[in-house]
Amino acid sequence: MSKRIYLDNAATTALDSEVFEAMRPYFSERYGNASSLHQFGQDAQQGVVLARQSVANFLGCQAQEIIFNSGATEGNNSVIKAFGFSKKLAQERGDHAQRGFSRAERGGKIHIITTAAEHECVLEAIKFLAKENYIEATFLPVSREGIVSVVEVEKAVKPSTALVAVMYANNEVGAIQPIAEIGKLLKKINQERPNKIYFHTDAAQAINYLPCDVNELGVDFLTLSAHKFYGPKGMGAMFIRQGAFFEKFFHGGEQEFKMRAGTHNTPGIVGLGEAIKKVKSLKSKVKNIGDLRNKLVDGVLKNIKDSTLNGSRDKSLPNIANFRFERAEGEAILIALDLAGIAVSTGSACASKSLEPSHVLQAMGLAALQAHSAVRFSLGRLTEEKEIDRVLEVLPGIIERLRSISGGTVNRKDKLLKDLGC
């Protein structure tokens, strides 16, 4: 098979050809600034309006609750830091406020709850705020399947809790979190307390595969990235429930209902809108992707000794399979597969240059050495059965060869390339 095989769809997806065609006129014909009053601007603005409605229809919300941005990383930072930097929230519900201090004396910290298995952009934002003494943070553990307990969320709530941030589906192992259940829990808790606890979910990996009606999920904030569902890179959106607390992250113009300044990326916005419409129309492909993933899992576990699926097979996205192979290093496997024309990942693309073991796998209870032996395969709409057959043909030999190489899991890239004949 001469064609290269792409099995890293959790990192990014190919731009859909129909999405590209929808974007094309906004580069060279309808190129006006969407904030301008003349016809060029109005033509561009119409594209923004239609795209916003498409996203709102998909999420089951109002169009004015959709804010366009550069992606989930920006959206997650915007939500988390809006809470962390808010003096108003600290005065009203910070830990000092709960201890009887006068309003003038209050300067306490709000409390944010998250999990130890979140995407780096959530974890690092919260860790930064905690380190700088803006907030108090609780990082909840996850199970061996990568799933947080709703009971643990409830136990972590304090009078100063202002935000719960839990991703919908994990980018490394595909673990699906009980978002709707957490939403129901927080709704019940909020009925019995004066200050609302807001609920945020990063749905970047979920859009293609899971129900995303924000009312059914019970979330106040939701973030997404277009390039995860065959839209353009550098384009995203966030849902902010009407009436929810939010302080804008970017200052400048009055775009996006005065909540996110900056000239509209009209081609990107149009592409996002077109891509999210196609998600709904292509839901039938989800079963096929799941069938191919199951074939991959069955084949790997059957044909490669000492291989293990990280996480749950059933409580996971249908496109992700994360394996660990004892006595073989993940980075070495990635390189060998790439040389064979197969693209995979050792985890999050946002941390791919890091030599640290996956924080997600460690949160799930794996030792550092086990986490270093992990490889993620993530399928997509374009994945074909013959590609899975090819993986199952070459992978056993790669693992066997790597295990035979002296040094095993301690080899690094420079030595591995030499050992593999490069």
Q: How many domains does the chain fold into?
A: 2
Q: Which H or E run contains 378?
A: strand 374-378
pLDDT value at 102 more than 50: no
Q: Which of 253, 281, 309 is the last residue of a domain?
A: 281
Are both 264 and 305 inside the same structural domain? no
* Catalytic member of 61, 121, 212, 350: 350
Mean pLDDT computed over 284-303: 96
Same domain flag for 115 and 152: yes
Rounded Cα distance between 238 and 223, Å, is 4
The last residue of one of the domains, among 281, 300, 332, is: 281
Do 276 and 297 have their domain in common?
Answer: no
DSSP secondary structure of 332-352: HHHHHHHHTTEE-BSS-GGGT
Predicted local distance difference test score (pLDDT) of residue 248 = 86
- Catalytic: 422? no
Same domain, 347 and 257: no
Mean pLDDT of 56-77: 98
198 and 97: one domain? yes
Residues 233 and 323 in one domain: no
Q: What is the CATH number of the domain that holds 52?
A: 3.40.640.10
Query: Can you give the pLDDT at residue 69?
Result: 98
Residue span of the structural domain in which 31 resides: 17-281
Residues 362 and 293 in one domain: yes
Contacts (Cβ under 8 Å, ≥6 apart) of 262: 250, 252, 253, 255
Question: For residue 221, which of 238, 197, 204, 206 has the smallest C-alpha distance?
Answer: 238
Confidence of residue 96 (pLDDT cuts 50, 70, 90): low
In a domain, residue 292? The reply is yes
305 and 275 fall within a common domain: no
Question: Domain ends where: 256, 281, 306?
Answer: 281
Residue 272 shares a structural domain with residue 288: no
Name the residue with higher pLDDT: 347 or 150: 150
What mean pLDDT is predicted for residues 359-366?
A: 97
Residues 262, 298 within the same domain: no
Q: What is the C-alpha separation between 320 and 8, in angstroms, rounded?
A: 9
Residues 324 and 258 in one domain: no
- For the beta sheet containing 320-325, the strands, ordered from the edge strand earlier in sequence to the opposite edge, are 307-310, 320-325, 374-378
pLDDT digits (tens, 9 = 90+) for 187-228: 999 999 999 999 999 999 999 999 999 999 999 999 999 999
Asked if the structure places residue 6 within a domain, the reply is: no
What 8-state DSSP symbol labels residue 197? P
Whether 10 is in a domain gets the answer no
Confidence band of 422 (pLDDT split at 50, 70, 90): very low
Domain membership of residue 4 (yes or no) is no
Task: Find the mean pLDDT for residues 392-402.
Answer: 97
Same domain, 258 and 298: no
DSSP 120-159: HHHHHHHHHHHHTTSEEEEEE---TTS---HHHHHHH--T
